[in-house]
A and B are shown apart, each in its own frame.
Chain A
Amino acid sequence: MFEAFKTRAEGVGAEVHRVATREEALLFIRWFLETERINESPGSGALWAKSALLDGVPESEIPRHPGLSHDVSRDRAAQAKLGISEAQWGVADTGSLVLDQGAPEQRLVSSLPTIHLALLPTGNILAGKTQVFAKMNPATSKYIAFITGPSRTADIERVLTIGVHGPERLVIVCIDDVEGGTR
Chain B
Amino acid sequence: MNKEFKAKIDRAVNNANLTGALGKFSEAYKVNRAKAYEGIDFEELRGRVACIKSEAAADLDGLAEEFRKNAEALGAKVFRTSDPHQVKEYILKVAQEAGVKTVVKSKSMATEEIHLNPYLVKNGISVAETDLGEWIIQLAGQTPSHMVMPAIHLTKEEVAELFSKEVEERLAADIPRLVKVARNELRPKFLAADMGISGGNIAVAETGSIVLVTNEGNARLVTTLPRIHVAVIGVEKLIKEFAGVAPILEALPRSATAQLLTSYVSIISGPTQNDDGSPKELHIVLMDNRRSEMARDPKFKQALQCIRCGSCLNVCPIFRLVGGHVFGDIYTGGIGTILTAWFDELKKSEDIQGLCIQCGNCTQVCPGKIDIPELILEIRRRLVLEKGQPLLQKAIFSVVNNRRMFHGMLRAASLAGKPFSSGKFIRHLPLFLAELTDGRSLPAIADKPFRDQFRDLKQPVCAEKAVFYAGCLMDFAYPEMGVALIKLLNKAGIEVIFPDEQTCCGAPALYNGAYEVAAQNAADNITALLAAEASYVVSACPTCTVALAHDFQKTLESVGRTEWLPKAKELAAKTVDLSTLVKRLVDAGRLSFKEGEQLGAVTYHDSCHLKRTLKVFDEPRELLEKAGYQVTEMFECDMCCGMGGSYSIKLPEISAPILQRKLQNIKDTGAPVVAMDCPGCVMQIRGGMDQDGAQVRVQHSVELLVDRIKG
Task: Enumerate chain A interface residues (CB-CB to B < 8 A).
Answer: 8, 12, 72-74, 78, 91, 93-96, 102-105, 107-108, 111-112, 129-130, 133-134, 136, 138-139, 141-159, 161, 163-167
Contact = CB atoms under 8 A, between A and B. Distances in A.
A40 B30 CA distance: 49
Given A157-B155, A157-B175, A111 B224 contact: yes
Contact of A164 (B132, B136, B269, B271): B132
A11 to B, nearest CB: 8
B215 A151 contact: yes
Nearest to A96: B261
A147 B215 CA distance: 9
Contacts of B179: 153, 156, 161, 163-164
A138 B242 contact: yes
Q: Nearest 8 CB-CB pairs, A to B?
A: A166-B217, A155-B133, A146-B265, A138-B269, A164-B216, A155-B132, A151-B217, A144-B267
Interface in B133-186: 133, 136, 149-152, 154-156, 159, 175-176, 178-180, 182-183, 186
B260 A8 contact: yes
Contacts of B25: 158
Contacts of B261: 91, 94, 96, 146, 148
A71 to B, nearest CB: 12
A144 B155 CA distance: 36
Contacts of B191: 74, 78
B389 interface: no
A95 B261 CA distance: 9
Nearest to B21: A157
A143 B266 contact: yes
Contacts of B223: 143
Contacts, number: 168
B183 A165 contact: yes
Contacts of B136: 155-156
Contacts of B132: 153, 155-156, 164
A93 B183 contact: no
Nearest to A146: B265
Interface stretch (B245-253, B410-418, B568-576): B245-253
Given A104-B224, A104-B275, A164-B182, A145 B265 contact: yes
B272 interface: yes
A166 B220 contact: yes
B220 A107 contact: yes
Contact of B267 (A134, A138, A163, A164): A138
Contacts of A12: 259-260, 263
Contacts of B271: 142
A118 B228 CA distance: 28
Interface in B232-281: 242-243, 245-246, 249-250, 257, 259-276
Nearest to A8: B260
A164 B132 CA distance: 8
Contact of B215 (A104, A112, A152): A152
B218 interface: yes
B207 interface: yes
Nearest to B149: A155
Given A130-B246, A138-B207, A139-B74, 4 more contacts: A107-B220, A142-B74, A164-B217, A165-B187
B207 A145 contact: no
B209 interface: yes
B340 interface: no
Nearest to B274: A104
A142 B270 CA distance: 6
Nearest to B75: A142
Given A108-B224, A165-B130, A151 B272 contact: no
Contacts of B224: 104, 107-108, 111
A79 B596 CA distance: 78
23 contacts: A12-B260, A12-B263, A95-B260, A104-B275, A107-B220, A139-B207, A144-B267, A145-B265, A145-B266, A145-B267, A146-B266, A148-B261, A151-B263, A153-B133, A156-B154, A156-B175, A156-B178, A159-B156, A164-B182, A164-B183, A164-B217, A165-B186, A166-B217
Nearest to A114: B183
B221 interface: yes
Main secondary structure of the interface of A (DSSP, over half): loop
A104 B273 contact: yes
Interface in B604-621: none
B551 interface: no
B131 interface: yes
B47 to A, nearest CB: 16
A146 to B, nearest CB: 4
Contact of A111 (B217, B242, B265, B267): B217
B156 A166 contact: no
A73 B225 CA distance: 11
Task: Pick from B204, B218, B276 the residue with the most CB of A within 10 Å.
Answer: B218
Contact of A152 (B21, B245, B263, B276): B263
Nearest to A77: B275
Interface in B336-385: none
Contact of A165 (B150, B155, B217, B257): B217
Nearest to A134: B243
A129 B246 contact: yes
A100 to B, nearest CB: 10
B209 A153 contact: no
A74 B178 CA distance: 26
Interface string B1-41: 00000000000000000000100110010000000000000
A148 to B, nearest CB: 5
Contact of B263 (A8, A147, A156, A157): A147
A154 to B, nearest CB: 7
Interface string B185-223: 011001100000000000010011100000111101101
Nearest to B40: A93
A161 B132 CA distance: 11
A166 B246 contact: no
Task: Pick from B136, B182, B220, B250 the residue with the most CB of A within 10 Å.
Answer: B220
A154 B263 CA distance: 12
B199 to A, nearest CB: 16
B263 A161 contact: no
Nearest to B264: A147
Nearest to B28: A158
A69 to B, nearest CB: 14
B272 A102 contact: yes
Nearest to B206: A138
B264 A166 contact: yes
B187 A78 contact: yes
A93 B175 CA distance: 30
A165 B218 contact: yes
B78 to A, nearest CB: 16
A139 B269 contact: yes
Contact of B131 (A102, A142, A155, A167): A155
A147 B262 CA distance: 8
Given A138-B267, A146-B261, A129 B250 contact: yes
B151 A156 contact: yes
B176 to A, nearest CB: 5
A142 B217 CA distance: 18
A149 to B, nearest CB: 6
Contacts of A72: 275
Given A78-B191, A133-B243, A141-B269, A158 B21 contact: yes
A107 B229 CA distance: 15
Contacts of A112: 221
A152 B159 contact: no
A146 B154 CA distance: 31
